[in-house]
Amino acid sequence: MSSTRKFVGALSLSVLVMGGLGLTGGALSPLTPTDAASPAKPQTQTTPTARALPDFSGLVKQYGPAVVNISTTAKARMPAIPGLEPGHPLYEFFRQFGGQVPQGDQIRQGVGSGFIVTQDGYILTNAHVVAEATEVTVRLTDKREFKAKVIGSDQRTDIALVKIEAKALPTVRIGDPEKAQVGEWVAAIGSPFGLENSVTAGIISAKARSLSGESLVPFIQTDVAVNPGNSGGPLFTMNGEVIGINSQIYSRTGGYMGLSFAVPIDVAMKVKEDLQKFGKVSRGRLGISIQSVSAELAESFGLAKPQGALVTSVEPGSAAQKAGIATGDIILAVNNRNVEEAGDLARTIAQMKPGSNVALKVWRKGATRELRASLGEVPPENVAQAGESPSAGAQGKLGLAVRPLRPEERKQLSADGGVMVESATGPAARAGIRPGDVILALNDTPVKSVEDLRRLADKAKGNVALLVQRQEGKIYVPLKIG
């Protein structure tokens, strides 16, 4: 069974027995830096074996009171008759003859975590912790409870801001995720399975992880034990600074398996400021679909190394079109900040305000050029994402059998050119081209007809990049000519 990404959100309380660092016979064994039988020799340099294991007790004592438990109540509409769901014979009867299926309210409760960022009661947590909640209760470590108000939430980053009416509250200290290093110790405090103020520790496994569907968040990956209920809790460095919000896990069982992901705190704080000031989050937008550049695509476009964001489509009337960006361009930098992959561009643009002017360094037809764009605004809950990677798919150099588009197909696809793939073998099949795909361009040259594709393919050597439209998505597919 393949791994599944899970939100570490609220679940009903369960009893879970877990091993811990240095556990023997249910007691914590003392761990020492070294266990040498002979007297230690003087060392001029500290080695990893000579360092003491980290002690988080001071951190927990100082900042633990700023970590809160969040419990929620929500109403879910459920069939009033048990089992009366789509597929049940009576379901169709009620739908067709009664006009609606009998419904009943079911109370759903959840538990998550959060942390106080201002003394007057602003608290950060995950959006999925408070999603659809009709009542939110915040419990502090001193057992005080407050009814909380959801100021706003942002689904794209999974960040929510809630407020309690209190003063002189303990707060966390905000850190800089950029300064955090892979391999350094970190700790999480939260309410896994409802067990309030549980502390777990581990190391940073990786930074700037891009997860499917979350192109705006460069996740911090850790091996800290994070479980359902830890959602919204802080990720601390050894010096007591919060660098992330624990948000997701990869799991086959629904529980911890060594892969935990946190939203960087700088991303969360920007969301917090927007929600607090405006009640929503505003993001800049170019109006393009993009994908990362592989080694094969880099060779196809004449780049010295794989880098940048390859433009697969440009929306009519968008900021990108007005700036002169075209399909097949590779955006290498924004305001002199290098773009290594597609996610870098998406995050950089999203962090800017609508109307911002940006300088873009673009690779086109073997040379760089400078373009300037005035950013548009991301519409609510409608973020453009890179197209899906093709799967599988008969003649000629490319291994493709193609035909011209029929008038109705051209109208449906809103395509000026392109050819329809009828079958794919050899290089095309290995690259993932399949019947029904529409070839729109080879490298950065549009394909208007079957003859265009044949002529371009005859001239091509090594790796080429085919711009493919599959249903509503477009993506460049690298293809190695054998």
Please state the domain extents for the chain.
64-163, 173-277, 284-377, 400-480
Top CATH class, 284-377: mainly beta
- Reading the block at residue 476, the tokens are 């460049």
Distance, in Å, from the CA atom of 375 to the CA atom of 274, rounded to the nearest integer, reads: 18
DSSP 387: P
pTM over the 0.75 mark: no
Distance, in Å, from the CA atom of 124 to the CA atom of 234, rounded to the nearest integer, reads: 9
Q: What share of the chain is helix, strand, coil (3-state, %, to 5)?
A: 20, 35, 45
Which of 189, 116, 128 minimizes the C-alpha distance to 5? Answer: 128
| 355 Rama sector, left if φ>0, alpha if ψ -120 to 50, beta otherwise | left
- Reading the block at residue 20, the tokens are 């811990």
Spell out the residues 6+ positions from residue 92 whose beta carbon is closer than 8 angstroms to its own: none
Answer yes or no: same fold for 173-277 and 400-480. Answer: no
Distance, in Å, from the CA atom of 288 to the CA atom of 155, rounded to the nearest integer, reads: 21
Spell out the residues 6+ positions from residue 399 whose beta carbon is closer than 8 angstroms to its own: 424, 425, 426, 427, 428, 429
Question: How many Cα atoms are found within 13 Å in the side-chain-facing hemisphere of 146?
Answer: 21
Active site residues: 128, 158, 231
> Would you give the distance in Å from CA 59 to the centre of its chain?
29
95 pLDDT higher than 50: no
pLDDT of 212 reads 64
Q: How confident is the model over 61-71, as a mean pLDDT?
A: 96
61 pLDDT higher than 90: yes
For residue 137, the cross-strand partners are 71, 147
Q: How confident is the model over 442-462, as a mean pLDDT?
A: 86
Q: How confident is the model at residue 454 (pLDDT cuts 50, 70, 90)?
A: confident
pLDDT digits (tens, 9 = 90+) for 330-359: 999 999 999 998 889 988 999 899 999 999
Distance, in Å, from the CA atom of 449 to the CA atom of 446, rounded to the nearest integer, reads: 9
For residue 123, the cross-strand partners are 116, 162
pLDDT of 37 reads 37
Domain 64-163 maps to which CATH number in 2.40.10.10, 3.40.190.10, 3.30.70.20, 3.30.1320.10? 2.40.10.10
Distance, in Å, from the CA atom of 329 to the CA atom of 322, rounded to the nearest integer, reads: 14
Instruction: Note the CATH number of domain 173-277.
Output: 2.40.10.10
Instruction: Note the CATH number of domain 400-480.
Output: 2.30.42.10
pLDDT of 463 reads 85
Q: Are 353 and 377 in contact, with CB atoms under 8 Å apart?
A: no
Q: Are 104 and 78 in contact, with CB atoms under 8 Å apart?
A: yes
- Reading the block at residue 234, the tokens are 């802080």
104 pLDDT higher than 90: no
Q: How confident is the model over 23-50, as a mean pLDDT?
A: 39
pLDDT of 65 reads 96
What is the DSSP track for 70-99?
EEEEEEEEEESSTT-STTSHHHHHIIIIIS
Contacts 24+ apart (CB under 8 A), 451-457: 452/417, 452/419, 453/398, 453/400, 453/402, 453/419, 454/396, 457/396, 457/397, 457/398, 457/481
By mean pLDDT, which of 207-221, 258-272, 367-381 is the weakest?
207-221
Q: How far is CA 175 from CA 115, 119, 178, 183, 454, in A?
A: 14, 17, 9, 17, 56
390 pLDDT higher than 70: no
Q: How confident is the model over 228-241, as a mean pLDDT?
A: 95
